[in-house]
Amino acid sequence: MDPQSLAMLSSVFVKICGIRDLETARVAVGAGADAIGFVHHPRSPRHIEPAAIRAIVEGLGSQEAETVLVVRGLPIAQVLSVARQSGVGTVQFHGGEAPEDLRQAEEAGFAVIRALSLAEFSASPVLSGRLLLDAPEPGQGELAGVEEFTRRPTAPWILAGGLTVENVRAQIEALSPDGVDVSSGVESSRGVKDHARVVQFIAAARG
């Protein structure tokens, strides 16, 4: 089992996604985030280019956290190019990519997270590797109800979708994920992180 999976099993793994500047990255990592995510998707208000991602990754210096490139619907050659330019260690696939694309990313030396909506996961065969399960409409900040989890992953998994400072602890207790992922739930406006809420979210997730 990889080090990230072991960390997820020993405590609640927390990922702050949609990072766009070094100050926010430092706040998140300093508050105890295990991972920070960078969205490379031009239609997203959280989109960030590879050079800017690398500047943040390098700017963190001795502050250690898993760095995750979040992509959707890109050809695998482009994904790998952006990931290398960005200096990240992990790629999170959000666009229903083929298993071969994920294997290519792993063979290129990147850790992989496969993000699926609950509907996609319920309809899929048994999957291995790290999973992120999102709301019925991924990226829309919708909170999934316990009754919607008709199937639970057997591998370490991360819960996303509609999480906030106010509800993350209840969702963890109800669903027992190995980790949680938040973006819009700690923002003051679309794409703009509220540093106080980032710190509060991490504290709430850890109980």
Query: What pLDDT does 8 receive?
Result: 42
Task: Note down the domain range covering 105.
Answer: 3-206
Query: What pLDDT does 5 receive?
Result: 42
**CATH number of the domain enclosing 168:** 3.20.20.70
DSSP 8-state secondary structure symbol assigned to residue 147: G
Query: What pLDDT does 140 receive?
Result: 57
Establish whether 2 is a catalytic residue: no
Query: What pLDDT does 29 receive?
Result: 97
Query: What pLDDT does 136 receive?
Result: 60
C-beta atoms surrounding 25 within 10 Å: 24
Question: What is the mean pLDDT of each successive set of 10 residues along the chain, which is 207 residues long?
Answer: 42 96 98 97 95 97 92 96 98 88 96 89 74 71 72 86 94 93 96 97 95
Say if pTM beats, i.e. exceeds, 0.75: yes
b or e along 94-113 (b: 16 or more beta carbons within 10 Å of the residue's beta carbon)? Answer: beebeeebbebbeeeebbbb
- The residue annotated as part of the active site, out of 34, 134, 178, 181, is 134
Q: Residue 45 burial (CB < 10 Å; 0-12/13-18/19+)? A: middle
Query: What pLDDT does 147 receive?
Result: 74
Establish whether 34 is a catalytic residue: no
- The residue annotated as part of the active site, out of 17, 101, 178, 181, is 17
C-beta atoms surrounding 46 within 10 Å: 22
- How many structural domains are present in the chain? 1
Query: What pLDDT does 141 receive?
Result: 60
Query: What pLDDT does 11 receive?
Result: 86
